[in-house]
């Protein structure tokens, strides 16, 4: 094999040599465009890290100052070197590249930090027992979040069951039927509802049920109601956007075939936008599944499994995590470990929901390709 390739490569080498010779013979305009080699920024970075960062660290300064000083010196060094070698336009480009990358890295710090911390602390109890045991009768080690996982799933599913029809139909009304003052008012209040603090939604559910059942009432359904107060505006907003991008021509095409408006909406508009709606709804679920404050007020916490959302307190993952941390038993460690694992499970749930949203969007998308 090597024998077959060799002549060709040598030919190519010859060619590049010719080209190089040609380039050198060209007038100076072409030659003056000098460029730093691709490895230059990395070399400069390495040098700054060793000199500035290493120097400050060995001088006994903090790591924060070392990183900050390294970044500033690096930006300045890249700019100056590039300006001398490549000219001002290239230098500005390189400086802005450094700034943008730095901003990205700063934005990544909290995200990575949260995931690493939760993983490091949560993996200790991320075992089978956590998914099979509740906290009934557990005072120290052992136990798990089985009851809280079930509670979270039940309460969130109920919230979704209430919010999705209401949100979907509201969006259909706003896009297809609503005009004039009523629809403007609805749009306005949906916008206002998007900004409601979650604790207010919890207090609303608590106050509402206290009116009917007396103070001190707690049940899973109250939590679902509070969550759906938070979820409905998100569903309305995302569905509305999706319905708006369905081309008007498709509606007219259906009308022109003698299809009534309601059938057009049901069979043309909704199927065309179902991918976007489904992923929007899934993201709305992911948004409320981690809510703590309203569930703290409306649902409370319990140690055992309660599958009936209409009777008594239920455990949920966020509240379980919160209580395990603020009111641990003795010894403390098992409670803290379980709190971290609950947080980890919650993050995984949200991640799975986000992946599901992407998958749904891809599965339901109108098939355009395929000639």
Residue numbers at the binding site for other proteins (CB under 8 A): 179, 247, 249-260, 263-264, 267-268, 271-272, 366-371
Measured distance CA(365)–CA(37) in Å, rounded: 45
The residue (of 70 and 272) whose beta carbon lies closer to other proteins is 272
Shortest Å distance, C-beta 161 to other proteins: 26
The residue (of 227 and 268) whose beta carbon lies closer to other proteins is 268
Q: Which two tokens stand for residue 22?
A: 């040609």
Shortest Å distance, C-beta 272 to other proteins: 6
The residue (of 251 and 338) whose beta carbon lies closer to other proteins is 251
Q: Which two tokens stand for residue 111?
A: 């995200």
Would you say 223 and 295 are in contact if contact means Cβ atoms under 8 Å apart? yes
Shortest Å distance, C-beta 260 to other proteins: 5
Measured distance CA(164)–CA(160) in Å, rounded: 6
Shortest Å distance, C-beta 360 to other proteins: 15
3-state SS assignment for residue 143: coil
The residue (of 140 and 271) whose beta carbon lies closer to other proteins is 271
The residue (of 252 and 311) whose beta carbon lies closer to other proteins is 252
Shortest Å distance, C-beta 250 to other proteins: 6
The residue (of 179 and 181) whose beta carbon lies closer to other proteins is 179
Shortest Å distance, C-beta 98 to other proteins: 44
| Backbone phi and psi for residue 136, each to the nearest 5 degrees, phi listed first | -60, 120
Q: Which two tokens stand for residue 123?
A: 């993996």
The residue (of 37 and 366) whose beta carbon lies closer to other proteins is 366
The residue (of 224 and 272) whose beta carbon lies closer to other proteins is 272
- Sequence-separated (6 or more) residues with CB below 8 Å from residue 198: 226, 230, 291, 292, 293, 294
Q: Which two tokens stand for residue 75?
A: 């930006």
The residue to which tokens 């080498």 are assigned: 13
Cis peptide before 331 (omega within 30 of 0): yes
Would you say 229 and 204 are in contact if contact means Cβ atoms under 8 Å apart? yes
The residue (of 175 and 229) whose beta carbon lies closer to other proteins is 175
Measured distance CA(136)–CA(159) in Å, rounded: 26
Shortest Å distance, C-beta 236 to other proteins: 22
Q: Which two tokens stand for residue 195?
A: 């900004």
Would you say 83 and 89 are in contact if contact means Cβ atoms under 8 Å apart? no
Give the burial string for 163-192 (b: 16+ CB within 10 Å, else e). bbeebbebbbebbeebeeeeeeeebeebee
Measured distance CA(28)–CA(19) in Å, rounded: 16
The residue to which tokens 């990205």 are assigned: 104
Would you say 223 and 288 are in contact if contact means Cβ atoms under 8 Å apart? no
Shortest Å distance, C-beta 265 to other proteins: 11
Shortest Å distance, C-beta 276 to other proteins: 13
């Amino acid at each position: 094999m090597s024998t077959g390739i060799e002549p060709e490569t040598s030919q190519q080498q010859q060619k590049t040599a010719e080209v190089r010779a040609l380039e050198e013979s060209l007038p100076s305009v072409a030659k003056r465009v000098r460029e730093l080699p691709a490895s230059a920024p990395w070399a400069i970075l390495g040098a700054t890290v060793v000199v500035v960062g290493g120097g400050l660290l060995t001088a006994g300064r903090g790591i924060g100052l070392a990183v900050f000083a390294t970044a500033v010196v690096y930006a300045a060094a890249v700019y100056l070197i590039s300006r001398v070698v490549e000219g001002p336009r290239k230098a500005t480009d390189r400086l802005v590249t450094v700034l943008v990358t730095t901003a990205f890295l700063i934005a990544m710090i909290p995200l990575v930090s949260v995931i690493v911390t939760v993983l490091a602390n949560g993996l200790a109890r991320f075992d089978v027992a956590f998914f099979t045991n509740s906290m009934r009768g557990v005072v120290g080690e052992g136990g798990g979040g089985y009851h809280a996982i079930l509670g979270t799933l039940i309460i969130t599913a109920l919230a979704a069951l209430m919010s999705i029809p209401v949100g979907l139909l509201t969006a259909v009304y706003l896009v297809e039927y609503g005009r004039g003052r009523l629809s403007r008012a609805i749009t306005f209040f949906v916008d206002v509802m998007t900004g409601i603090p979650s604790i207010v939604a919890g207090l609303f559910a608590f106050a509402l049920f206290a009116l009917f059942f007396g103070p001190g009432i707690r049940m899973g359904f109250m939590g679902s109601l509070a969550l759906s107060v938070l979820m409905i505006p998100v569903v309305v907003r995302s569905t509305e956007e999706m319905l708006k991008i369905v081309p008007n021509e498709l509606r007219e095409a259906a009308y022109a075939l003698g299809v009534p408006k309601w059938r057009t909406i049901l069979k043309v508009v909704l199927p065309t936008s179902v991918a976007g709606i489904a992923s929007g709804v899934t993201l709305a679920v992911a948004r409320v599944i981690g809510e703590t404050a309203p569930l703290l007020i409306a649902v409370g916490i319990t140690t055992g499994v309660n599958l009936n959302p209409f009777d008594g307190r239920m455990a949920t993952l966020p509240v379980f995590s919160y209580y395990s941390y603020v009111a641990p038993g003795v010894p403390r460690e098992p409670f803290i470990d379980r709190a971290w694992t609950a947080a980890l499970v919650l993050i995984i749930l949200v991640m799975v929901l986000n992946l599901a949203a992407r998958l749904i969007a891809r599965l339901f998308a109108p098939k355009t390709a395929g000639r």
